[in-house]
Amino acid sequence: MHRWVNSELKAAQSAMFLIRKYAVDKESSDALLEWLKPFETLIYKREGDWRELADKNKLTKSMIPKSNSPYGQDLIDKMVMLIKEELHHFYQVLEIMDEYGIEYKSITPCRYAKGMLRHVKTYEPDALVDKLIIGAYIEARSCERFAKLAPHVDKRLGDFYISLLRSEARHYQDYLTLAQEISEFDITERVEFFGQLEAELISTPDEDFKFHSGVPA
């Protein structure tokens, strides 16, 4: 459960990083930071009440693209919707943890995302394309693992895992769509490149067991 909470928040943070770096002006960037602040404060500083977070997830898609941004509103719209859904899932997981009497504990990041981000190109727009492809793999793998876990937990958790599949599937499709729209070339080869990296990360021994980790060592 703790890994799951972190995964939802991390997904929101990653999407927010992309739109702040590539597609919005300073005013919108500041608004995005304020949107995420109560969620990060709860996790990193242990301040606030998780029950109040449902009222904090109110930002709309009416963000202003940077005037010199070639990526514009489509990137903003897709990423803002993703962030809203991930933060909603974040709240739902905390709600379930409360039901089950599970106290949140901090955990360290796993090697999974870092292992792929290490291979991101250093120039644009290829760096952004790579980050979007990696985002697609993270979302697709989450979707797969929720589906695999659902039959092996109680009905409450199983039903919830299944309810997440539609949004997770749309998320990885949105990432790939954006990657191809932004890319100056066909991304198939790059998708296959990261697919090989990702396959190695989930199939090789891993001493740190988490939601996206490899085979338990």
Question: What is the number of other CB atoms lying within 10 angstroms of the CB of residue 9?
Answer: 21
Question: What is the number of other CB atoms lying within 10 angstroms of the CB of residue 74?
Answer: 15
141-148 mean pLDDT: 89
Q: What are phi and psi of 40, to 5 degrees?
A: -70, -40
The answer to whether residue 40 scores a pLDDT higher than 60 is: yes
Q: Are 171 and 139 in contact (CB under 8 A)?
A: yes
| pLDDT for position 1 | 55
Write out the two tokens for 45.
């500083």
15-31, pLDDT tens digit by residue? 999 999 999 888 889 98
What does the DSSP assignment read for 30-97?
A: HHHHHHHHHHHIIIII--S-GGGGGGG----S---B-TT-SSHHHHHHHHHHHHHHHHHHHHHHHHHH
| CA–CA distance, 88 with 98 (Å, rounded to integer) | 15
| CA–CA distance, 21 with 40 (Å, rounded to integer) | 19
157-207, pLDDT tens digit by residue? 999 989 888 888 899 999 999 999 999 999 999 999 999 999 999 999 888
| pLDDT for position 4 | 63
Angle CA 107–4–87, to nearest 5: 110
| pLDDT for position 44 | 87
The answer to whether residue 3 scores a pLDDT higher than 90 is: no
| CA–CA distance, 133 with 177 (Å, rounded to integer) | 9
68-83 mean pLDDT: 87
93-140, pLDDT tens digit by residue? 999 999 989 887 777 778 888 999 999 999 999 999 999 999 999 999
| pLDDT for position 102 | 86
The answer to whether residue 85 scores a pLDDT higher than 60 is: yes
